[in-house]
Amino acid sequence: MFDGGEVKIYKITDISQPGDMPVEGLALQSTCYFEERSIGMTRNYMAMQSNAKVDRLIRIWQDRAVTVDCVCVIFDGSKVEDYVEVGVQYRVAANQHTVNENGLKVTDLTLERLGTIYDIS
CB burial of 16-51 (b: ≥16 within 10 Å; e: otherwise) equals eeeeeeeeebbeebeebebbeeeeeeebeeebeeee
Spell out the per-residue pLDDT of the chain, length 121, in tens.
788 888 999 999 888 888 899 888 899 999 999 999 888 777 666 666 666 778 899 999 999 999 998 999 987 655 555 555 567 899 998 899 999 999 999 999 999 988 888 877 6
Q: What is the pLDDT of residue 90?
A: 93
Say what the pTM is.
Answer: 0.82
Q: What is the pLDDT of residue 2?
A: 81
Q: What is the pLDDT of residue 38?
A: 85
Cα distance between residue 7 and residue 111, in whole Å: 12
Q: What is the pLDDT of residue 28?
A: 93
Which domains, and CATH codes, for the chain?
5-120 (2.40.10.270)
